Amino acid sequence: MPAPIDDIVHGVPPVVISNTTTLVNRTGSWKYIRPIYRDRVAPCNEGCPVGIDIEGYMNLLREDRVEEACDLLLRENPMPAVTGRVCYHPCESACNRRSFDEPVSIHAVERMLGDRVLDRPVEAIPHVQKETVAVVGSGPAGLGCAYHLVRLGYAVTVLEAASEPGGILRLGIPDYRLPKDVLAREIDRIRNLGVEIRCDTRVGKDFPWEDLDSFDAVFVGPGAHRSRPLGVEGEEGPGVLSGLAFLHEVNFGARPDLGKNVVVVGGGNTAMDCARTALRLGAKALVLYRRTRAEMPAIDEEVREAEAEEVAFQFLAAPVGVRRENGKLLGLECTRMRLGEPDESGRRRPVPVPDSEFFVPADTVLCAVGESLDPDALPEGLGNGWGVETDAFGASTRPRFFAGGDVLDGPRTVAHALGAGKRAALGIDRLFREKRGETVREAIPESLRYGRLGNLSATRWREDDPIPRVGAANEVVPYEDLNIEHFDHAPMHGDRLRVPELRRTGFDEVSRGLGTETALEEARRCFNCGVCNQCELCLIFCPDVAISRNEDGHGFVIDYEHCKGCGLCNAECPRGAMTMTREGL
Ligand code: FAD
């Protein structure tokens, strides 16, 4: 005798209980819509200019598969210990978790993985292809291109004007943000894979451009190293230095005496690096910027760190002249500014306020108002004053010549440079395959794009993805498509920063990153947007028991003969990895 229903669950109405199998009831015939599994693109992946499968490595970390996560990361990013430290992490700005509590600290997790592989032994990859490639410049664009080419089996020679490789990572970014030994070990890994790097070789001077004809293709990534002048009378003379040249000097071990008062002109990242470096050399630093803090091109994090270290700021002010006495710098003649109409960059144009001149004393002025291309760093016929134009595969208008990084007229960041280098490597591979008569992709296929140009997946190019994709729709998952009921609030584990008083005393690294365990905890905060991570909620919630595990243990199968299309699985899916489609479509 069955127990009265009320004794089992209060409030549940009487239900029909079948003594035989329900499989005979083919309830699947009722449905007019059906659920399907369809992986979509996580916003972090879409936002990453390097094209890293961030969601993919977070998912592996969730299962403590740390070494596999490192492998996945290295498939796309040649220098994760660098990007984990200095990338401006647009992935975090895109992170859906931002709308829930705080974004996942992706850069900190990436740094942990990057540091882990710094000393991982690597074996040289055999040059199985007959073609050779020259890369001009060993910044992130050049090294990124070389890395992906060598992984595709090509012999690559990098020609670098400076005495050490790394571009701005070596010449511009100070030790307290990116220790030199970290950079050197990342570059060693690239070298050990089989990339030849020849330093002290300026193409166009030590190595004629014509000699590059012996290579089957050339990648040009010389960056933008010409400091823009202040444009005021008297700037050529003692006490007024190019900010980039100053950083270069300090990065190679010099400790110049700047005097007591240093004025940095500019509001970008170079200005922040100059001011914070000046502090570490014992000076007081004042940043003079012609717009307000809100318009500063420097990323907010950099500005906040500079403020914490007691860099002073004078906004809405610009120099109009340099005052010297007996050849010695006394300071800058300045004027106050106000914001007028928006200019071509969309920011409000700074306009001088009449009769508002004032004087700012300075022992040294560091000029950091931007960098432009050096026309001598380009071969004839390549580029105009603004930069080199390329197609979606990094090919320039000159046959066999590809370009990327700061030399393009686009965003100037390490991540964009790495992405551009990879894009060109795939373009060069495409060119060679075409010449060999192999079938090549005419345009960038949707699945390669992660939604926009610049962040291609080398893995998908090679078609050797270790992670099975289900449906792989090239569509980004918005926050609204997540079922946030299944997530708990948890605070972000941010970088551990040294206290400002200690930072100012030297060039030791400011951020200590996260320990492995904390980074793994942080990775578990990831929603895995758009990708089935086998959580089984679809299976648990299916009222028809129509969902079961695949035989190989990966993914699920839906028994459509019994799924009546109620959509509960789709509604319950926490990460928007399922969708409902019309029957018969
Ligand atoms: P570069 O890094 O400039 O490398 C170009 C290389 O080419 C150099 O090594 C140069 O010596 C070499 N070269 C030039 N001409 C020749 C030639 N004729 N022959 C041979 N070699 C040649 N971005 C971030 O994302 N995060 C940051 O924290 C950050 N901080 C920055 C700080 C400073 C001070 C500056 C100036 C920039 C910073 N940036 C940052 C921007 C970022 O560094 C650049 O966008 C990136 O380095 C560009 O890479 P690239 O490879 O195109 O050029």
Tell me, what CATH number does 483's domain have? 1.10.1060
**CB-CB neighbours of 79 under 10 Å:** 28
Higher pLDDT among residues 472 and 156, named by residue: 156
- State which of 111, 169, 414 you would mutate to test the pocket of ligand 1, scoring each by most atoms of that ligand within 8 A of its C-beta: 414
Residues with CB under 6 A from ligand 1: 86-88, 136-142, 159-162, 167-168, 172-173, 202-204, 221-223, 225, 244, 247, 269-270, 273, 371, 377, 405-407, 412-415, 417
- Could you count the other beta carbons within 10 Å of the beta carbon of residue 231? 11
Both 231 and 365 in one domain: the answer is yes
**H or E stretch at 54:** helix 54-62
Question: Nearest CA to 454 among 414, 410, 494, 423?
Answer: 423
**Residues 474 and 507 occupy one common structural domain:** yes
Q: Domain boundary residue among 489, 523, 557? A: 523
Give residue 31's pLDDT: 82
Looking at residue 583, its pLDDT comes to 80
Going by DSSP bridges, is the β-strand pair 578-582/33-37 parallel, antiparallel, or unpaired? antiparallel
pLDDT of 142: 98
- The residue-averaged pLDDT of 561-568 equals 92
Q: Model confidence over 386-441: pLDDT tens digits? A: 789 998 889 999 999 999 999 998 899 999 999 999 999 999 999 999 999 998 87
pLDDT at site 441:
74
pLDDT value, residue 553: 77
Residues 346 and 395 in one domain: no
Decide if 448 is inside a domain.
no
Same structural domain, 248 and 338 = yes
Contact indicator for 407, 430 with CB cutoff of 8 Å: no
422 belongs to a structural domain = yes
Same domain, 196 and 234: no
Interval between CA 155 and ligand 1 midpoint (Å): 23
Tokens 């948890």 correspond to what residue?
Answer: 490
Which of 523, 543, 568 terminates a domain? The answer is: 523
Whether 3 is covered by a domain: the verdict is: no
Query: What's the rounded mean pLDDT across residues 130-140?
Result: 98
Question: Taking 90 as the threshold, does the pLDDT of residue 551 lie above it?
Answer: no
Q: Are strands 401-403 and 217-220 parallel, antiparallel or unpaired?
A: parallel
**Maximum pairwise Cα distance, the chain:** 110
Is residue 389 one of the residues assigned to a domain? yes
The CATH number for 548's domain is: 3.30.70.20
**Strand pairing of 547-549 and 556-558?**
antiparallel
Q: What is the mean pLDDT of the chain?
A: 91
CA of 224 to the centre of ligand 1 (A): 7
For residue 309, being part of any structural domain is answered with yes
What are the strands, taking DSSP E only, across 389-486? 401-403
Domain end, chosen from 329, 344, 372, is at 372
Coil, strand or helix: which one is 580?
strand
Which pLDDT belongs to residue 3?
Answer: 47
More confident residue, 13 or 35: 35
Q: How far does the centroid of ligand 1 lie from the alpha carbon of residue 139, in Å? A: 5
Count other Cβ atoms within 10 Å, centred on residue 91.
Answer: 26
Torsion of CA 386, 391, 394, 397, to 10 degrees: -70
Banded model confidence at residue 464, pLDDT cuts 50, 70, 90:
confident
Same domain, 31 and 138: no
Q: Which domain holds residue 577?
A: 20-39+532-582
- Domain identity same for 234 and 361: yes
Q: How far apart are CA 478 and CA 470, in angstroms?
A: 18
Which domain CATH number covers 299? Answer: 3.50.50.60
Q: What is the pTM of this model?
A: 0.93
Tokens describing residue 157? 């020679």
DSSP state of 82: H
Does residue 498 lie within any of the structural domains?
Answer: yes
Mutate to test the pocket of ligand 1, among 147, 168, 248, 409 (most ligand atoms within 8 A of CB): 168
Are residues 210 and 315 located together in one domain of the fold? no
Give the C-alpha distances (Å, rounded to integers) separating 107 from 137, 366, 472.
26, 30, 25
d(CA 270, CA 411): 15
Query: Is residue 308 located within the same domain as residue 425?
Result: no
Give the DSSP letter string of 299-368.
-HHHHHHHHHTT-EEE-SEEEEEEEEETTEEEEEEEEEEEEEEE-TTSSEEEEEPTT--EEEE-SEEEE-
Question: What percentage of the chain has pLDDT greater than the value 90?
Answer: 75
Tell me whether residue 13 is in a domain: no
Same domain, 243 and 362: yes
Say whether 556 sits in a helix, a strand or coil: strand
Residue 51 Cα, ligand 1 centroid: separation in angstroms? 19
Q: Are residues 269 and 361 in the same domain?
A: yes
Instruction: Please check whether residue 144 is in contact with residue 418, taking contact to mean a CB–CB distance below 8 angstroms.
Output: yes
**Domains in the chain, number:** 4
Q: Closest ligand 1 atom to the C-alpha of 224?
A: 3
Task: Please choose, from the candidates 395, 417, 477, 403, the residue with its C-alpha nearest in 3D space to the C-alpha of residue 79.
Answer: 417
Does the residue 125 lie in any domain?
no
d(CA 445, CA 426): 13
Distance 529 CA to ligand 1 centre (A): 33
What pLDDT score was predicted for residue 462?
85
Residues 280 and 340 in one domain: yes
CB atoms within 10 A of CB 474: 14
